[in-house]
Amino acid sequence: MELNILTLSYLIGSITFILGLKMLSNPASARKGNLVAAGGMTIAILATIFLYEEDGEKLHNYGWIFGGIAIGTLIGFLAAKRVKMTAMPEMVSLFNGMGGACAMLISIVEFNHFYEHLRPYLEIGLTEAENFAFGSETSLQGSGAQLALHLVIILAGLVIGTVSFAGSIIAWGKLNGRVKDFAFRGQHIFNIVLLLIIIGLSVYMVYHTSRFEFPSFYEEESVTANTWLPSSFKYIFYGILVLSALYGIFFVLPIGGADMPVVISLLNSFTGVAAACGGFLYDNKVMLTGGILVGAAGTLLTILMCKAMNRSLANVLIGSFGGGAKAGGGAAKEQGAYKEISLSDAAVVMTYANKVFIVPGYGLAVAQAQHICHELEKLLESKGVEVKYAIHPVAGRMPGHMNVLLAEADVPYEKLLEMEHANEEFPTTDVVLVLGANDVVNPAAKTDPSSPIYGMPILDVELAKNVIVNKRSMKPGYAGIENDLFFQPRTSMLFGDAKKVLQDLVAEIKNL
């Protein structure tokens, strides 16, 4: 009966994961979807703690289990409660890294069990072998192929989880400024060689395990070469662990801030796959379902992010676009002069417009200006102006960063237009206010084949009648190139911190 209840709990958990993921596809239901999935996970965790049995024994040490849950819950709650919106990408990366670390630790624990069961059959030397009772009992049974499959899952969880953990920690450090972009000549070749060594060592372990056979008799004569495994197994395993951590570090180090949305979603998919490996190991359906969903969603999101930049995943990982070295983009060209606009003139232009689009970027998040931006939106609407937001898929430092930013300020979801829909409306727009966005509105992506962002789909803000760009200075964005938009005749620059500028703009409009 308890087994049936446990199975039912896992089924409920799996269904809530699927429903929650479905609800996350719509901003209006995303919050509820999160709660639904979290409820299913709670049911699965409690059912495992109280109902799971192995060899007739239930889990014990409840003090340690619930102590760990309590500490983790408290840390997670406080971290999420206190995090600033600018730090949201790094928190997501850090939490994702913790998921990879869990998968890594699961693989380590399971390998130690695997190793202890097979330790009597390692190449321990002739003297010790003569004194060994061949054919002694072991709880790990099965053919060499079955043991090899078990080891494959352990190694897959170890490698993928470790890469996800190490890579996510580096991404976290890069996003908060603690880790700088780093690359050296031949680094990509170094990474490939490192990966091949990891794969080679894993294949070596799996190959020897697949040829293993448990001794059938107590007589020493029955012991053949296939009943022994290399004594270096444990050292090789931990060598793979270290190499995987190094690979995760050097995998992310050269990738710059502009590509962080892709990196975060890719590492997220890694964590999901590693968690699915844990589900295989424990024959845990809810863990398997959750891991597959996270892995598949992360992979699809990675593909969408790459498509939004018109680049392949290999180009993102190898090209180091947005990194410290910068991709170049050809020689600098004469852009001419830009023109500035005063706060009072900007207030007049926006107040007497019919339609205004706001394009949020990372600068808006840095300034923590989402609330005053929403106030500007409501003020303009009270004067009969239609206000909408244009959202680029890779704006910010994580997938959906701008959506989350504006949702925090209670901006209605229906006002957030995706790039394709926004581009259709720009020709009939009177004013576009660009707040902290740079590369995602750069026309060079369409006109300059030498530009590193050439071919990247952008927001066609230059088609509007007037474009007002708010920036702190004329410094280039993460792509390291000048923005052609700033020098176009319809564009005016409004310099200053986004929050201060918007506050002053709101005050000016109220005085009109």
Q: Which residues are catalytic?
A: 439
Burial letters 117-142, b for 16+ CB under 10 A, else e: ebebbbeeeeeebeeeebbeeeeeee
Contacts with 140 (C-beta within 8 Å, 6 or more apart), sequence order: 113, 114, 117, 118, 147
> How crowded is residue 430: how many other Cβ atoms within 10 Å of its Cβ?
17
Is residue 218 a contact partner of residue 134, using CB atoms and an 8 Å limit?
yes
Rounded CA separation 208/198 (Å)? 16
Tokens of 91: 């928190």
Is residue 194 a contact partner of residue 243, using CB atoms and an 8 Å limit?
yes
Helix (H) or strand (E) holding 158: helix 144-175
Alpha-carbon dihedral 74, 75, 76, 80, rounded to 10 degrees: 100
The single-letter DSSP state of residue 488 is S
Contacts with 155 (C-beta within 8 Å, 6 or more apart), sequence order: 107, 202, 205, 206, 237, 240
Which of these, 154, 161, 244, 138, lies nearest to 197 by C-alpha position? 244
Tokens of 283: 């024959």
Tokens of 249: 């570090």
Amino acid present at 493: M
Burial letters 95-107, b for 16+ CB under 10 A, else e: bbbbbbbbbbbbb
Tokens of 72: 């983790």
Strand order in the sheet with 466-471: 416-418, 386-391, 355-360, 431-435, 466-471, 491-495
Rounded CA separation 96/269 (Å)? 10
Intra-chain end-to-end CA distance of the chain, in Å: 73
Contacts with 292 (C-beta within 8 Å, 6 or more apart), sequence order: 272, 276
Tokens of 178: 């603690």
State the residue for tokens 């008799």. 217
State the residue for tokens 């576009």. 432
